[in-house]
Chains A and B, each alone.
Chain A
């Protein structure tokens, strides 16, 4: 510790005069040091003496304060010793008070697990914060677990959680949108710099989801510069290492007074050096007020003697300076009421890496702390407290009798001076342990593909000791060992999946993953486990498990299959993955095979439990919520109906969803979803027709409502440029394909006709759609339609827009499948006749449009094309498109007589020229009769003109035949 105190930034100032007392000499010593080192005013002296004052105050407090730090084996050891000695009747613990009932379930779990408070229905919080989740992980090697185990398993001892409730955690957060992320009490800047950037065990590290983490005994410098300074001068790489070297080891064997004083001192140091404006400090002070108020309340009600109580809190809070501190502190603080949010509580599995990630600790530090704890226990011969029947840990030998209660508390002595002035009592080298590590790491490395041998074990051993010596340590810490192993074993490349650093972490205990025991699960999760039992799998395993279900041979597995499908629907992707088998309307597999990751997804299954009692209920709720959401649409409701049919056997509920779909459809003002609606209702109708004697009422209502709805919106949809062709096509599809049903249900065909007649689209694709609609209604013959297309192809002004018409025709296939031959014909003509500059740019568009919007229509087109076009290459030459025959215009019934006149007479009189020209051109024309119509009747204007100005005509005639002119 001396490094740390001496290394703080210093400023000079005259010593403040304080009451001479127990810590008087130390205070004076520090003041002297401050005067010597510093050259600025007051601040340093104030900090130095203030720290001693804080220690003094905490120790004088009538209610015994036990300062702890999270993941500190030293805290745990001191706690065990103190509990055995003091045997308190009441333990106050710095933990959300509303989590208390969960603690009794801890014994059913394999630690580490996290206590969770969860709220999905928010009341009084910004809705975008939801769902709210708070987790408090509990590990076995922690002081709080010792306190909890002692209190729960010793008769007559009461455990009281005194910290603010989960609700207050969020109430006290600033209301900026992004504030939730920095809310973690334990960690202001999570994930911190030294947290592993790429976590190798990502799955485990993500066990807490995005919950806000709370931790007992958070103790870490509050601003980055201080931490950096400490790390730099401590010559260590990360905070966990600093803590281990400068606090943990010196305190491991220390007596209780030294422990307590040193911890409060550190808490006070970090508190005094925390940024002043931090909202976080204000929050912490509020918490302290809260805790002291609660403790006073409890003492008042229960009447327990404060000397029989123990207050376990973070060292940071032990050095508190709020007015409410202490049993004699101010009592003004009013605990604010909770919001109306309904909180649910449960245990979720946690893991060391999840804890490290959540609280920004270095990778492996929690595991190393766990290993240190186990070792310290063996060495000290202490028997830790453990909950009766705690899962997943070694059975402790029969609980030793508690030590006799300590004699009347001896007056507190100043242990701090000694602790600060003496170099830390370092452990001697534990050769056995180090040798064990070296041998193990070499073995582990070999198994992971490294070419390591006994020589490496020796080198690692030697290097560890040398490194420790270089870093001022007599005993190599796990961190030194890790560095040594990397130096000696890691070569230029990592042969397997794990590098040596990771292997060291595994060696030190690896990532421990907790599991919530069956008894501690919420009813839903228990129900899931029960119902999956027939599969005969070990659901506790964290590996992926393959389940094979032969549903014909083992019909008793059908309920399992049903449940799996529901879980697949509810849980995140990949948790339950069908490898074989599908569930669609009208389709049931006889055999299924599943990849189940139940163990890995225990948290999500538990969190489902916050939503209901059974998965079916949760599914019902989710579906119901979905269709009643403000943004629900008819297609979403139809999807919900489909899901309900697939996963729930509850016709009444399905009908309810269907009714909602009708309501939604009738209320919709847009037709964006029309394609989806059409697809889904068709499928549902087909399903009902196949499985039930008659359609459910809502289906009929839906068709009726849909018919009326789309008829009404059709004219608008045709002209609105924001509505795509596809939507209009789908509307027409609905109207035409479901028309017979709609008419049978009492709809009026006239409505559709009117709607079509009122439609006046301008966009070419929609015009094409309208033509098809009209032809379907008999308002336009197919021949007319064809003629219009031909006309367009012949008109150079319209040709560029022709592809758009064609798109419209393709979309129309949805509603009028019989149009396929016509579409093929038109398309072929387009390919044949469109100029390249129009055709080529359009082709990609056509293909992508067909792919994305009309995938199901393409087979129809292709089939039709196959029918139309010749099948072999040789047939192509002889092939004439079927439509060309039809396209030849009918011969006029009789040749129209040509008007008589000078020109006609001239030509008839000298046919040789015309015949020769015709022959040259390859026409075998024939001469039409002349004189049928009196000249001038047909071309009155022309003949009038010629009659009035005959000179030109006569001159021409004269030129042609001087005889006539003459």
Chain B
């Protein structure tokens, strides 16, 4: 089944692992959870020898253990979980993994946008059926959140802060009363949440101030802030993990040389330092320089070398992708990248050698093309 999907949701992708974990799980499970909290943690953070399992469970999310623990515990409590952090820090991926592990369904998702209405959160009507049969439970289209309530599973709300405040506030009653009433119906007009229902929302900390959460809603969510990964080692792990996945998805057989991975990580680290010391927005790249962006750059480079190159990843291609992905505004971003190439990469290619000179050359060409 996975083969037929471009991107299988976590519960499909790791179905076999989840089945096995469920079979060996003897811990207490809250509500209708499919796994006990400890097994959820194990599923997300991977197993170790000390866990004494017969098979190895791979690590799927990279970050501080306590974030995962706090997230799981929140879902077992009365409150919703709000994952907040910079773009590309793995919030949605963590949310998906949590939903998959807890309720084997991570697809009950509402995507918050400026156009999201209350109907998207509660329910809407199939107009033709309403015309034909009148308003009834049959002619009602439940939202993913309502479905999650009915099934007692986890519902997800992506980018909560992108939707307007009045729409957000529809969640307040769902989170506190745990039911949705349908005033249009005369009977059977309340949908009660089954045990096990909870909401995982994600919010982008860069959007703060656009549609601020009301304090009533804030109170009903526990916030878990996911920081940008700055530890080079874990970042390398994340990039490697995701790249392997990508390659598998595209059925590409291509090696990512560790030296190139180092170059990528190093250049992002350099650019982050530069962004941190910039005094105005014009002096820093528009990109958040997150781990996800690194993966994007690498993916771009891999695809490029696969289809237009000689099927080996080269520093030059990587530089090309780096410049191409990070330069969004001209001339500001271009100037920054140019400065970076000449101020940092050039001296380094002289002193360190390796793949750096080629990387520098590629970067120069890319900039020349763009400007």
- Give the bracket for the number of chain A residues in contact with chain B: 20 to 34
- Give the nearest-CB partner of A465 in chain B: B73
Complex Cα distance, B66 from A490, in Å, reads 15
From B38, B78, B203, contact of A459 by CB (8 A): B78
Complex Cα distance, B30 from A462, in Å, reads 13
Complex Cα distance, B259 from A165, in Å, reads 52
Stretch in B98-106, B212-220, B283-291 touching the partner:
B212-220
Say how far A11's CB is from chain B's closest CB, in angstroms. Answer: 15
Say how far A362's CB is from chain B's closest CB, in angstroms. Answer: 13
A757 within 8 A of B: no
Stretch in A466-474, A545-553, A722-730 touching the partner:
A466-474
Interface string of B186-217 (1 = CB under 8 A from A): 00000000000000000101001000010100
B73 surroundings in chain A (CB, below 8 A): 463, 466-467, 470, 484, 487
A304 within 8 A of B: no
Complex Cα distance, B69 from A483, in Å, reads 9
B345 within 8 A of A: no
- Give the nearest-CB partner of A471 in chain B: B69
Say how far A387's CB is from chain B's closest CB, in angstroms. Answer: 40
B213 surroundings in chain A (CB, below 8 A): 492
Complex Cα distance, B50 from A7, in Å, reads 8
From A235, A456, A492, contact of B84 by CB (8 A): A492
B255 within 8 A of A: no
Q: Given the known inter-chain contacts A453-B219, A455-B219, A492-B84, please indicate yes or no for A487 contacting B72, CB distance below 8 A.
A: no
Contact B223 A491 (CB under 8 A): yes
Interface string of A651-662 (1 = CB under 8 A from B): 000000000000
Interface string of A127-170 (1 = CB under 8 A from B): 00000000000000000000000000000000000000000000
Number of residue pairs across A and B with beta carbons under 8 Å? 67
In this complex, the member of B37, B50, B213 whose beta carbon has the largest number of chain A beta carbons within 10 angstroms is B50
Give chain B interface residues in 60-102, CB to chain A under 8 Å.
Answer: 65-66, 69-70, 72-74, 76-79, 84
From A233, A237, A456, A493, contact of B66 by CB (8 A): A237
- Give the nearest-CB partner of A3 in chain B: B50
Give chain B interface residues in 200-251, CB to chain A under 8 Å.
Answer: 203, 205, 208, 213, 215, 218-219, 222-225
Complex Cα distance, B205 from A400, in Å, reads 59
B364 within 8 A of A: no
Interface string of A424-464 (1 = CB under 8 A from B): 00000000000000000000000000010101100100110
A488 within 8 A of B: yes
A470 surroundings in chain B (CB, below 8 A): 37-38, 41, 69, 72-73
B119 within 8 A of A: no
B208 surroundings in chain A (CB, below 8 A): 492-493
In this complex, the member of B48, B74, B225 whose beta carbon has the largest number of chain A beta carbons within 10 angstroms is B74
B70 surroundings in chain A (CB, below 8 A): 463, 467, 483-484, 486-487
- Give the nearest-CB partner of B215 in chain A: A451
A467 surroundings in chain B (CB, below 8 A): 69-70, 73
Contact A459 B223 (CB under 8 A): no
Say how far B118's CB is from chain A's closest CB, in angstroms. Answer: 23
B69 surroundings in chain A (CB, below 8 A): 467, 470-471, 483
Say how far A476's CB is from chain B's closest CB, in angstroms. Answer: 11
A484 surroundings in chain B (CB, below 8 A): 70, 73
Say how far A579's CB is from chain B's closest CB, in angstroms. Answer: 34
Complex Cα distance, B225 from A237, in Å, reads 17
Complex Cα distance, B74 from A488, in Å, reads 8
- Give the nearest-CB partner of A462 in chain B: B77
A463 surroundings in chain B (CB, below 8 A): 70, 73-74, 77, 222
Say how far B189's CB is from chain A's closest CB, in angstroms. Answer: 28
A486 surroundings in chain B (CB, below 8 A): 70
A492 surroundings in chain B (CB, below 8 A): 84, 203, 205, 208, 213, 218, 223, 225
Complex Cα distance, B70 from A462, in Å, reads 12
Contact B50 A466 (CB under 8 A): no
In this complex, the member of A3, A232, A453, A459 whose beta carbon has the largest number of chain B beta carbons within 10 angstroms is A459
B72 surroundings in chain A (CB, below 8 A): 470
Complex Cα distance, B290 from A36, in Å, reads 45
B50 surroundings in chain A (CB, below 8 A): 3, 7, 233
Interface string of A780-797 (1 = CB under 8 A from B): 000000000000000000
A471 surroundings in chain B (CB, below 8 A): 69
Say how far A449's CB is from chain B's closest CB, in angstroms. Answer: 12
Complex Cα distance, B205 from A641, in Å, reads 61
Say how far A874's CB is from chain B's closest CB, in angstroms. Answer: 48
Interface string of A226-242 (1 = CB under 8 A from B): 00000011010100000
A466 surroundings in chain B (CB, below 8 A): 37, 73, 76-77
Contact B223 A490 (CB under 8 A): yes
B203 surroundings in chain A (CB, below 8 A): 492
Complex Cα distance, B78 from A462, in Å, reads 9
B224 surroundings in chain A (CB, below 8 A): 487
Complex Cα distance, B68 from A471, in Å, reads 12
A462 surroundings in chain B (CB, below 8 A): 77-78
In this complex, the member of A453, A469, A490 whose beta carbon has the largest number of chain B beta carbons within 10 angstroms is A469
Say how far B196's CB is from chain A's closest CB, in angstroms. Answer: 15
Complex Cα distance, B41 from A453, in Å, reads 30
- Give the nearest-CB partner of B79 in chain A: A459
Give chain A interface residues in 480-520, CB to chain B under 8 Å.
Answer: 483-484, 486-488, 490-493
Contact B76 A483 (CB under 8 A): no
Contact A459 B222 (CB under 8 A): yes
Interface string of B255-292 (1 = CB under 8 A from A): 00000000000000000000000000000000000000
B37 surroundings in chain A (CB, below 8 A): 466, 469-470
Contact B77 A233 (CB under 8 A): no
Say how far B179's CB is from chain A's closest CB, in angstroms. Answer: 19
Complex Cα distance, B77 from A455, in Å, reads 12
Contact B65 A235 (CB under 8 A): yes
B77 surroundings in chain A (CB, below 8 A): 459, 462-463, 466
B223 surroundings in chain A (CB, below 8 A): 487, 490-492
B65 surroundings in chain A (CB, below 8 A): 235, 237
B76 surroundings in chain A (CB, below 8 A): 466
B78 surroundings in chain A (CB, below 8 A): 459, 462
In this complex, the member of B50, B73, B78 whose beta carbon has the largest number of chain A beta carbons within 10 angstroms is B73
- Give the nearest-CB partner of B51 in chain A: A233
Complex Cα distance, B208 from A487, in Å, reads 19
Give chain A interface residues in 1-24, CB to chain B under 8 Å.
Answer: 3, 7
Complex Cα distance, B73 from A493, in Å, reads 21
Give chain B interface residues in 100-150, CB to chain A under 8 Å.
Answer: none
Complex Cα distance, B222 from A488, in Å, reads 5
A237 surroundings in chain B (CB, below 8 A): 65-66
From A232, A235, A487, contact of B74 by CB (8 A): A487
Complex Cα distance, B215 from A235, in Å, reads 34
Q: Given the known inter-chain contacts A463-B73, A467-B73, A470-B72, please indicate yes or no for A491 contacting B48, CB distance below 8 A.
A: no
A453 surroundings in chain B (CB, below 8 A): 219
Say how far A38's CB is from chain B's closest CB, in angstroms. Answer: 14
Complex Cα distance, B218 from A476, in Å, reads 26
Complex Cα distance, B72 from A459, in Å, reads 14
Say how far A890's CB is from chain B's closest CB, in angstroms. Answer: 65
Contact B219 A451 (CB under 8 A): yes
- Give the nearest-CB partner of A452 in chain B: B219
8 intermolecular pairs with C-beta atoms under 8 Å apart: A233-B50, A235-B65, A459-B79, A462-B77, A462-B78, A466-B37, A471-B69, A487-B70
A residues with a Cβ closer than 8 A to B are 3, 7, 232-233, 235, 237, 451, 453, 455-456, 459, 462-463, 466-467, 469-471, 483-484, 486-488, 490-493
Q: 7 tightest CB-CB pairs across the interface, nearest first?
A: A466-B73, A487-B70, A487-B222, A491-B218, A467-B73, A470-B37, A491-B223
List 13 additional A-B contacts (Cβ < 8 Å) besides A490-B225, A491-B223: A233-B50, A235-B65, A237-B66, A453-B219, A456-B219, A463-B70, A463-B74, A466-B73, A470-B37, A483-B66, A487-B222, A488-B222, A492-B205
B residues with a Cβ closer than 8 A to A are 37-38, 41, 48, 50, 65-66, 69-70, 72-74, 76-79, 84, 203, 205, 208, 213, 215, 218-219, 222-225
